[in-house]
Chain A
Amino acid sequence: MKEQFQALIDDVKRQLQAIKDPQLIEKLEVEVFGRKGGFTGLLKRIKDLPETDRRAIGQFANEAKTRLKDLFHEALGQRPKKREEAMDITEPGHPPRPGLGHLHPITMVRDELAEIFRSMNYEVFEGPELDTEWYVFEGLNIPPTHPARDIQDTFFVKRDGVKHRGHIDRWVMRTHTSNMQIHVLEERKPPVRAVAIGRIFRNEATDASHEHTFHQLEGFAVDRDISVANLIHTLTVMLESFFRQTVKVRLRPGYFPFVEPGFELDCSCILCGGRGCSVCKRSGWLEMLGCGMIHPNVLNAMRVPEGMRGFAFGMGLDRLAMLRYGIDDIRLFHSGDLRFLNSF
């Protein structure tokens, strides 16, 4: 490399002796230092050199540059001089091109929760969005006559059903990620700790706080001696890790067919700390999720061995994202509107 730089310098020297026209001298200078010039070409190759050589050659290249510049200055009858270019460091920086991209806020929440649960020894799943009634309903102790099966809540798909336990299960868009309770236990033997995060669907008219497509995290643990106290601890730790603040939680009675007993879990308002504000409607509490001890009928459907039990909980991600980022219209998530998405 050194030789090549030296050859360039010699070559320029030789040529300059022959040219006297200042315009031609300038042209030659452009040729040497221009984008496709000899010097630039050599400089570009430095990066391909082994790390050990790069430094020395780089230094040599700098010297060569000064030498070449001086030659041109001399040829143009100028005294070699260096002009310190002024630099206003308060000018704005140049934005990166292309600009930075963004993850969707739901993805950010999803990744963060997955990480929290992995750190607590939970396996993370997503599971099918299009599933059969056994996994979405019957296996979860929601028999065909249950109100949650009402056609107005569930999207049914025109597709030949699947024979299961003597009757035909229809295909539905899952109405919760709880379908993964059954799927996971088909593949894993307890003890099991798992969360399923994914899209769910409800046949509901949309408005600022209702969507037909949203996201849910379903978590469950199956083992010996699991207690309600374990459930409370797990959820408190999860909420504290997510919101990065200490929170209080309280359980209230709640009814979900796949747990017994079932609870609604409220979390002390993360905005006012429980003193009461407009977000928590002055109550100091935010309704956060539904949870409970897995119903014995569901444990049966999961073929969980005698003597084991578990807890389960389901939480909406969209609401978490709305709370965290102060979003007031749930429909923005699927709008594909870049004005909204670029603000993250």
Chain B
Amino acid sequence: MQLSYQWLKDLVSPLPSADEVAKELTLRTCEVESVLALDAILEALIVGEVKTVSAHPHADYLQVTSVDIGKKRLLTIVCGAPNVRPGLRVAVASAGSKVFDEKGERFEISEREIRGVRSQGMLCSPRECGLGGEHSGIAELPAKARVGRSVRSVLGVDDTILEIDNKSITHRGDLWSHVGIARELSALFHRPLKINAPPQIREGNDVQFSVNVESPEVCLRYMGCVIEGVNVGESPKWMQDRLRACGFRPINVVVDITNLVMLEWGQPLHAFDAARVHLNDRKDKQIIVRRAKRGESLATLDGEQRRLDPSMLVIADPSGALAVAGVMGGADSAVSEKTTSVVLESALFDSVSIRQTSQALGLRTDAAQRFEKRLSPEITELAFRRAVELLTTVAGGSVASPVVDRFSKPAVAAMKSVRRLRVLERDVASFLGMDVSFKKLLPSLSGLGLSPTVVNDALRVIIPSFRPDLELPEDLIEEIARLIGYASIPAKPLRGILQPVVEGKEQMLERDLRMLLVALGFQEILRYSFYGEAERRASGVAASGHWQLENPLSEDLRYLRVSLLPGLLASVTTNQKRNPVMRLFERGRVFHDEEERTRLTIVMTGATAREIFFELKGIVEALLHRLHLTPSLRIPSADVTASDDEWLFALSTRLQWTVDRECIIQLGEIASSASQQLGVKVQTVAATLFLGRMCRHYQPIAALPKALKFPSVLLDLALVVDESVRWADLEPILRKAGGEVLREIELFDVYRGDPLPPAKKSMAMHLEFNSLKATLSLPVAETLKTRLVNEAKRRFQATLR
């Protein structure tokens, strides 16, 4: 929302400088995003006349114009605005002058090439001029503006604009107006507020006017009357200046008055061309406030045909809808130069209903923005009187009908009930953490319109109707605190019982894993929690096995991930050209079934799958060792129901580590179908750690294995066996044969090739024998070794190499 400093100055005087006002508002009321001195900006812009417009040779959406700015030569300016046309008076920023970009920051215009055509400046949009609002086309200056003069001299604007962050006033409907802001300023600066209640209306009786509110639950108050004899021309300059400063384009005196009163009081108003509002054949007028009928439609002011439904409220006459209540008027009943009499409306609609309608129609108009907040039924009347005052004094009209005023019961109740709040000095002091004196605050609280009284240490206030946001004692404490100034609240340490905060088991496990992986050269990455069809297919899980977003930002972000792997593989694809060898991991949430689960997935890429497979397997074994986990290894059979992530792994190399039959880690090469789907060109192996399950078995602290007291005997052994004999078959047999004296078997080499016969391999291992009871002699160890060899011979026809 844009505020005019000059306007505020009329309402509160004397008023400190615009910068001072902006600072105090920001610290105590709402955020002022920028302070723009309009005169300086507009002085530098020159009135030009567009002479010719021709197509840009290299760009479809651009045009090349020649513009007269009162110098000997015409300027060549490239322009993309749809409304540029010969004869138009425009605001020209020539090289060296400064204008505003979309973010409200100033930038300097320079002469430059635009797609091969030299442009000697810019034709400005209203926003670029600092006038705010529109940016869809260039500003159209009055046809009588003198070419070559400064835009400031033509528009005569001599004002400073304060731009308020709308988000900071969402809860304060009263602040969407100059009067509301002025009230704050008067309280903050202790300056008198100069607001006169608009005069009472002298009603007419020439025209019969009636209002039928059929939906009082969403139309809380409706005031209207017929005003005849309006002279719809341009509004006076002072009014146009105010509107422009607030980012509004002057249209005609009637529309300008409704906008001006809205900016002044925060109450949106609407004027219908009375010629388009009927009751019967005579000049009697009737307004009906009702819900739209199914299938009803209306052409709104912006030229769009709007389809309405019964959730929406319309303003209608007996023959049909005239406006979408509180959102936008209809094109047909709009006030034009031909209009001589108008029906003026000032109403209060239900905030939720307006918000839903404006959302459904995609129309966030200035009116809807204000109605979405809770407004005051009292202001409905003040604004109505103010608009009538202006229509009669400025536009030459006279009130031709009685004033109709329809109240709903809740509005009557809201008006009549007196809401009070009460707080105690010591409670406020304890809440804020500082001493507070209510007495000193009385003038400021009065400034806010709260009618305060202090009895002993209790403060009582009466809440005015324009402050529906003040409901609880805490709301009143906020008012007190910001009047004192937040800067005076000290910093005080929290007091309380100190209890040790122990890191959870899951957090410890995750931290251990993270640190180990980083030490092993892994890079942590984060991917979105959502993915699209390609990743979905790679995951091997049907669309029906995925949760889906109802309203995704795009198709690639439609599914909630069931696995971290597709995202990691997509990262492999992104990086594989530059880094064929990668070590990546991600820790994050996956979503399926009823529960959300935490996973950690590791991915390694390299030249040969075999090499990285065993490298990653070694890493997983090291991690397990470090975490004191001793799961069993399992090769899942293909017919077992696929567990999580299983589809992504190639069947031939899939491995699982399980505890109590629960898979805690799964490892394998990536299935070629998944790699192809995601464009992975390098060899990739991965391991998924099911952290929740791992955590159940994880003991952060474990006793160390018994230290060996006596020296070990180390012997080597190489066995030649059939290729079909797997290590997983051989090792347990050897261990069993060796008994507990055989401490360790380390397979250090597997050899295939000459001079071994085909389909045979040699497995070479170090054996460590150690007894916990006494020093083991070499012959005893040798005997044990022989036992191993014999057992291997018996079971696998192994031979010594």
Contacts and interface: CB of A to CB of B under 8 A. Distances in A.
Interface of A: 45, 48-50, 53, 97-104, 106-107, 111, 118, 121-124, 128-130, 145, 147, 150-151, 155-159, 171, 173, 191, 193, 199, 201, 203-206, 212-213, 221, 223, 225-230, 232-234, 236-237, 250-255, 260-261, 263-264, 293, 295-296, 309, 333-339, 341-342
Given A124-B507, A155-B551, A193-B494, 4 more contacts: A213-B530, A230-B494, A252-B486, A253-B28
B542 interface: no
A216 to B, nearest CB: 14
Contacts of B31: 252, 264
Interface stretch (B633-641, B646-654, B708-716): B708-716
A155 B549 contact: yes
Contact of B489 (A50, A213, A251): A251
B432 interface: yes
A157 B474 contact: no
Contact of A199 (B494, B529, B550, B712): B529
A101 B523 contact: yes
Given A100-B518, A103-B524, A157 B548 contact: yes
Contacts of B492: 227, 229-230, 232-233
Nearest to A102: B523
Interface in B437-472: 472
Contact of B521 (A100, A171, A295): A100
A171 B547 CA distance: 10
B708 A45 contact: no
Given A128-B596, A130-B596, A157-B549, A232 B491 contact: yes
B514 interface: yes
B589 A199 contact: yes
Given A104-B524, A228-B481, A233-B494, A251 B434 contact: no
Interface of B: 26-31, 167-172, 351-352, 355, 359, 372, 430-434, 472, 474-475, 477-478, 481-482, 486-487, 489-499, 501, 503-504, 507, 511, 514, 517-530, 547-553, 557, 560, 567-568, 570-571, 574-575, 578-579, 582-583, 588-589, 591, 596, 708, 711-712, 714, 768
Contacts of A122: 501
B551 A107 contact: no
B529 A53 contact: no
A221 B494 CA distance: 9
B433 A229 contact: yes
27 contacts: A98-B520, A101-B517, A103-B514, A104-B525, A107-B524, A118-B501, A121-B499, A128-B596, A145-B351, A147-B372, A155-B550, A155-B552, A157-B560, A191-B496, A199-B588, A203-B553, A221-B494, A228-B431, A251-B487, A252-B31, A253-B29, A260-B474, A260-B475, A295-B474, A336-B526, A336-B567, A342-B523
A176 to B, nearest CB: 15
A99 B528 contact: no
A48 B588 CA distance: 40
Contact of B551 (A151, A159, A191, A226): A151
Contacts of A221: 494, 496
B518 A159 contact: no
A157 B550 contact: yes
Contacts of B575: 336-338
Contacts of A145: 351-352, 355
B574 A48 contact: no
Given A227-B431, A230-B433, A263 B518 contact: no
Nearest to A120: B494
B29 to A, nearest CB: 6
B237 to A, nearest CB: 35
B571 to A, nearest CB: 3
Given A229-B432, A229-B489, A251-B486, A48 B591 contact: no
B789 to A, nearest CB: 20
Contacts of A147: 170, 355, 372
Contact of A250 (B27, B29, B482, B519): B27
Nearest to A309: B431
A329 to B, nearest CB: 15
Pick the 4 closest A-B CB pairs, nearest first.
A229-B433, A227-B433, A98-B521, A336-B571
A227 B430 contact: yes
Given A98-B520, A147-B170, A191-B497, A229 B434 contact: yes
A277 B501 CA distance: 40
A123 B501 contact: yes
Contacts of A199: 529, 588-589
A251 B550 CA distance: 38
B549 A156 contact: yes
The winner among A104, A204, A337 for most chain B CB atoms within 10 A is A104
B422 to A, nearest CB: 15
Nearest to A145: B352
Nearest to B359: A150
Contacts of B482: 253, 261
B714 A45 contact: yes
Contacts of A234: 493-494
A156 B530 CA distance: 13
Given A53-B711, A147-B372, A250-B486, A212 B518 contact: no
A219 B401 CA distance: 60
A263 B547 contact: no
A102 B487 CA distance: 41
Contact of B583 (A53, A98, A206, A233): A98
The winner among A121, A150, A204 for most chain B CB atoms within 10 A is A121
Contacts of B29: 253
Given A150-B359, A223-B496, A212 B557 contact: yes
B501 A232 contact: no
A158 B547 contact: yes
Nearest to B770: A48
Given A118-B503, A159-B547, A230-B494, A339 B578 contact: yes
B28 to A, nearest CB: 7
A334 B557 contact: no
Contact of B493 (A102, A150, A230): A230
Contacts of A205: 553
B579 A193 contact: no
A35 B28 CA distance: 78
Nearest to B494: A230
Contact of A227 (B432, B568, B571, B579): B432
B714 A225 contact: no
A48 B712 contact: yes
Contacts of A102: 518, 523-524
A228 B523 contact: no
Nearest to A213: B528
A132 to B, nearest CB: 12
Contacts of B501: 118, 121-124
A336 B527 contact: yes
A261 B472 CA distance: 11
B590 to A, nearest CB: 10
Given A234-B494, A296-B472, A101 B583 contact: yes
Nearest to B351: A145
Contacts of B530: 213
A338 B582 contact: yes
B529 A101 contact: no
A74 B503 CA distance: 65
B529 A201 contact: yes
Nearest to B615: A98
Given A48-B712, A128-B596, A156 B498 contact: no
Contacts of B169: 255
A229 B547 contact: no
B711 A261 contact: no
A171 B355 CA distance: 23
Contacts of B490: 229, 232
A212 B523 CA distance: 23
A339 B519 CA distance: 19
A104 B518 CA distance: 10
B520 A107 contact: no
A293 B431 contact: yes
